[in-house]
Chains A and B, each alone.
Chain A
Amino acid sequence: MSTALKLNVEPLDLIITGVGGQGNVLASQVLGRALLKAGYNVTVGETFGLSQRGGAVMSMVRVTRDKTMGPLIPENRATAVVSLEPLEALRVLGAYGNSEVMVLTNDRPLMPVNVIAGASNYPDLSELKAALENLSARLYWLPATKVALELGNPILANVVMLGALVGCGLLPVGLAEIESALAEMFNEAKMPANRQALARGLELMA
């Protein structure tokens, strides 16, 4: 299956975003490994530091056949945005969106502490969804955390979203390549849950 996949956009500029602790750096690293193994030139820029302290965290995955890219996608030039939290998808579109961008987002909000404290408001989910539709060529609004909880652990939402990304047709690699990259990073005991999460993510796109 994967032999038929190819890189149709170059550079393929993906943003993986979310909140610290959701595993976005791990997801970008898995993607990077899979793409490198398939022979592509890949640059993964990670932004973290205060990442585990509840802030927004973003990784950029840039894919070409040969050319070496810098760690930052040019402003408003993302090909696709994968978001582990819906508000963060909209935040990223302000800086990196464009009328052609594809957006895949987990539909489960994580409330900022300032929202919990009543100092700011989290937008109504239908309004948030409409804004994402308005600012993207195509929106996939996905219950990744719900699926992850069904599989027993909310942290699997990042892998569910990777499965969905495989299903969106932009990647020049398939489920098998992502799975083998995951297997390089997790011990075998954790792989059944990861495999299921990938497969369930792909199903969400069917």
Chain B
Amino acid sequence: MADLTKLIPGQIALLQGNEAIARGALEAGVAFCAAYPGNPSSEILETLAESADSAGIYAEWSVNEKVALESAAAASFTGLRAMASMKQNGVNVAQDFICNLTISGSGPGGLVLITCDDPSSISSTNEQDARFIARLADLPLLEPSTPAEALAMVKFAFELSEEIRNLVVLRSVSRLSHTRAGLVPGKLPGERPKPYWDPKTSYFTMPVVPMHQKMHQKLARAGQIMAQTGFNRYEGPELPELLIIASGSSALYASEAIALLKADQKAGVLKLGCTWPLPAEMLLEHLAKTEQVLFAEEVDPFLESEIKAFYAQNVTQLGIKRFFGKASGSLASTGENSPGKLAAAIAGILGIDWRALDKDYADKATALVTALVPPREFGFCPGCPHRASYWAIKQTLAVDGRQGLVSGDIGCYSLGVLPTGFRRVNSVHCMGSGLGISSGLGQLGRFGFNQPVVSVVGDSTFYHAALPAMVNARWNQADYVLCVLDNSATAMTGFQPHPGTGQTASGQGGCKVDVESMCQALGLSYRIVDPYDLTATQEALYDALQEGGGLRVLIFRRVCALVQGRQGGHPYRMQIDQEACRGQECGCNRFCSRVFRCPGLVFDEASGVAAVDEVTCVGCGVCAQICPAGAIVAQPKEEVAA
């Protein structure tokens, strides 16, 4: 990331979509930015935080997305321009506030919500389409296709918000947020207004019905303003045989698909950048000029369903049309679009004979890839404390023998459902939900439920959404063991600070809020263990499981292996004692590589014994504790050097 104020206006620069969004906000004179990290949105606030000092803005990692948007709204009420950014799941967290804010309206300062959705779920637990929030809460919606357009749209979004006095939503997707392209930055503004909230003014939703009516009027007004922007445009023949209505990255794929098919005389693209409210006039004009329509959007059929409803309203004027998209099966109802998927859909509709590739090559490639290429499973990094934590949990629950359950949560440790976490996690849903699930399981003893319950939660998630569930468990005396996997970072999304680190977004010291103090406040006893010490961790967990009665807390504390790597690395050089390792002859059945599954610890088929991959192993020393023959040796690096 970089300080975006250093860009020179008028001089082309290579910017990531998220950096373009951040630069757009700076050029719009944003004063207050808040966010909670989550791929693919994290770089927006990271970049703004890096630029905060030189731009004179405030940038905050908030404890969750709802607080981020509420804080930003407060700045808007005082006349400052403000922005909150989040991934699609975060919009759910902020939703309750959004559905009330839209009635009260925003303040004199423009207020913009950025949602970065993740079609195909490249790094998410779902591929939810967050555009629903625009429909649900009557908010104007912008969908850029390129980084340059994202920058321009963010600037427009602030103006629009001030014009209609409501929140404006800009929706990016992974392929835009994580695409770099050349763009020409504009000027940064000078003076900002001094924040002031006239005490005679209130932001409130009552009386609800007339205020609700006003909210509809604001959206209608937004539609009129958006129609003047040029973000919606048509390219193609005057009377296309097929009209493709596309938004976001899909608009680019549609143009490329037409070029691949050489169908530019037959098909045209109506690229919509302002997608809610629907651009009624433009739709009427273009629907009248074609008989066939294909919708290209990600992920849900948002435009498809809404435009079909709009068409039904105007059917006497427009006549019979054929619609293609997700409902017709022309495009998949899940996952991302691509140029090839759109080319296949268009070719099918227009009767063009097209295949991506000659059959010989395709057959050969499929055969070789199928025969030779194994999957590459996700796994914890070498040295990751989570591998050790799940090892201890797995072993302890096995010794306990009562078919214990583990409810998981959101973060790197969600991978506990995979072999890398020994498939030891039984449920993962959303931020904080592991503790809620455990709160429920912890009450079932009265019905004869006798399986012990363990909840795992990461340190950043702990503050984001776990605290209310923890209070609930304490209050209602839910019976479970909470393991806080504290690796001192929001590791999954790029090591952002959180309340437990005491650092803030801009790198300055904040007030540290540690897990222990939360436990103390709730009157909970807790123990701190180092997951690298497998025996001590297993003993502590075993004891906690046997105690029973209410919530017990263990803090598994060990810094993220990647952070440790930057802070001087791990202490050991790992070696295999060639004499002690009996390989296939040992009764362990390749226990270290088959079960422990660290990428740094391999099995050398040639010599028939375990081996350390020196390029990959970081030297955490955990595996030395698992070999039944004691053949894995952790030698302190200083000794090796000496």
Contact = CB atoms under 8 A, between A and B. Distances in A.
21 contacts: A29-B180, A36-B12, A45-B178, A45-B179, A49-B118, A49-B122, A49-B124, A50-B122, A54-B420, A71-B175, A72-B338, A74-B340, A77-B356, A87-B372, A87-B374, A87-B376, A98-B357, A113-B420, A119-B419, A127-B372, A149-B615
A53 B368 contact: no
A4 interface: no
Interface string B18-34: 00000000000000000
Contacts of A56: 376
B299 to A, nearest CB: 15
B567 to A, nearest CB: 16
A75 interface: yes
A91 B369 contact: yes
Contacts of A19: 376
Interface residues of A, number: 63
B380 to A, nearest CB: 7
Nearest to A19: B376
A117 interface: yes
Contacts of A70: 175, 249, 252-253, 255-256, 339
A48 B43 CA distance: 13
Contacts of A68: 146, 181, 252
Given A74-B340, A117-B419, 12 more contacts: A43-B181, A46-B179, A68-B146, A71-B179, A93-B365, A110-B615, A114-B375, A118-B603, A120-B375, A131-B372, A134-B364, A134-B368
Interface of B (DSSP majority class): mixed
Contact of B593 (A94, A117, A122, A134): A117
Interface stretch (B191-199, B501-509, B594-602): B594-602
A54 B599 contact: yes
A49 B39 contact: yes
B358 interface: yes
Nearest to A94: B369
Interface string A84-126: 0001101101100111000000001011111111111111000
Interface residues of B, number: 68
B615 A154 contact: yes
B168 interface: no
Contacts of A2: none
B594 A48 contact: no
B361 interface: yes
Interface centre among A74, A97, A145 (most CB of B within 10 A): A74
B14 A90 contact: no
A52 interface: yes
Interface string B21-59: 000000000000000000110000000000000000000
Contacts of B594: 117-118
Interface in A20-78: 21, 29, 32-33, 36, 41-50, 52-56, 68-77
A128 interface: yes
A71 B176 contact: yes
B374 A114 contact: yes
Given A49-B174, A50-B378, A44 B181 contact: yes
B615 A145 contact: yes
Given A54-B377, A117-B597, A47 B178 contact: yes
Contact of B180 (A43, A47, A87, A114): A43
A135 interface: yes
A170 B521 CA distance: 64
A45 B175 CA distance: 7
Contacts of B159: none
Contact of B419 (A72, A87, A114, A122): A114
Contact of A72 (B123, B339, B377): B339
A56 B122 CA distance: 11
Given A36-B14, A74-B338, A135 B368 contact: yes
B616 interface: yes
B305 to A, nearest CB: 25
Contact of B181 (A42, A48, A117): A42
A123 B260 CA distance: 35
A90 B368 contact: yes
Interface string B344-381: 00000000000011100110111011001111111111
A112 B340 contact: no
A97 B146 contact: no
A118 B369 contact: no
Contacts of B601: 116
Nearest to B148: A68
B381 A54 contact: yes
A113 B595 CA distance: 10
B469 interface: no
Q: Which 9 A-B pairs have the closest CB atoms?
A: A49-B123, A70-B252, A75-B340, A120-B374, A94-B369, A74-B339, A44-B180, A71-B179, A123-B372
Given A46-B178, A113-B419, A135-B361, A72 B376 contact: no
Interface string B252-265: 11011100100000
B412 interface: yes
A43 B365 contact: no
Contacts of A122: 374
Contacts of B615: 108, 110, 145, 149, 154
A50 B182 CA distance: 26
B369 A90 contact: yes
